Amino acid sequence: RTFQGESLVVSKTLANLEVLLDPRQFRRVNRQYIVNITAVQQIKPHYKGKLLLLLEPLAGEEVIVSQEQAAQMRDWLEL
């Protein structure tokens, strides 16, 4: 979802999009989501070392960062 509340349909895979985006601004957090750093409002600990991201605008579902990605996510957000 964009900051204007739009959902975009693209013909590229998330892996293809990921290499096109600035890694300082965007991060792939799981198999379904690439997030903009400015959209991350809060991070909460989640089950078994995972993280729950609270985003604005809302994603429409919980965005969970895997245990494997959690340390990289903290580094990216400088926590």
* pLDDT tens track, the chain, 79 positions: 777 777 778 889 999 999 999 999 999 999 888 999 999 999 999 999 999 999 988 777 889 998 888 988 888 888 6
pLDDT given for residue 74 in this prediction: 85
Question: Structure pTM?
Answer: 0.80
Q: Is 64 left (phi over 0), alpha (psi -120 to 50) or beta?
A: beta
CA distances from 28 to 51, 63, 70 (A): 13, 11, 11
Bridging pattern class, strands 26-28 and 34-36 = antiparallel
pLDDT given for residue 79 in this prediction: 63
